[in-house]
Amino acid sequence: MSIPEKRIYPRTGDKQTIYLKEVIINPNIIVGDYTMYNDFVNDPTKFEKNNVLYQYPINHDKLIIGKFCSIACGAKFIFNSANHTLSSLSTYPFSLFFEEWNLDKSKVVDAWDNKGDIIIGNDVWIGYEAVIMAGVTIGNGAIIGTRAVVTKDVPPYTIVGGVPAKTIRQRYDTDTINQLQELKWWNWPKEKIAQNIEAIKLGNIISLG
């Protein structure tokens, strides 16, 4: 069954911006409601092919993205199979070429170090051409700067940038961050979010509820 265009392209006349969840086929990519991806260079519906790199089925690693995230053009998620093992005397991936070297085909994953899944929280903004590396968890409300390369976990409501990405600042004070973490407004029913949109837009946490 085909997906109605309005569910893929939420903005009338805009074919560069999609609700990402609606175009995902790979069961190892999980995306929450209302998360959007914009691409003015390539077809945004080709996100799996163009933006999720080296996620080979043999490794079973996952990309998990929460609700209400904003992902800018060219953001990349680079998975474990892009790595070369550092525990060997050589970085050459002998296990990949098992036929050449008469190695056990089932041990092909020995060619790289497995750092785990990529997990993106809710309400995360990932900037233009940012790169998120395997094993990274990004907390709710975080902001990833343009062309940042994220190699380590990012705490909730923290802005990071640079290569490698470093903390620039927290978006709010610790008490406000804790309140937002408890509220989890992104899990509210659509009707409740609609009722609170003005307070969310104005940053008025006291009026939420």
Convert the pLDDT of each residue in 153-177 to its tens digit.
999 999 999 999 999 999 999 999 9
Average pLDDT on 10-35 reads 97
CATH topology of domain 5-84+115-171: UDP N-Acetylglucosamine Acyltransferase; domain 1 (2.160.10)
Cα–Cα distance list, 100 to 61, 96, 97 (Å) = 27, 9, 5
Average of per-residue pLDDT across 22-46: 98
- pLDDT score of 3: 60
CA dist list (Å): 12 to 8, 18, 32, 35, 179: 11, 11, 22, 17, 35
Residue 74 confidence (pLDDT)? 98
Where along the chain do the CATH 2.160.10.10 domains lie? 5-84+115-171
Tell me which residues are annotated as active site.
Answer: 84
Work out the pLDDT band at 208, boundaries 50, 70, 90.
Answer: confident
Mean pLDDT of 113-119: 95
In 11-75, at which residue ranges do the beta strands (DSSP E only) sit? 17-19, 29-31, 36-38, 52-53, 63-65, 70-71
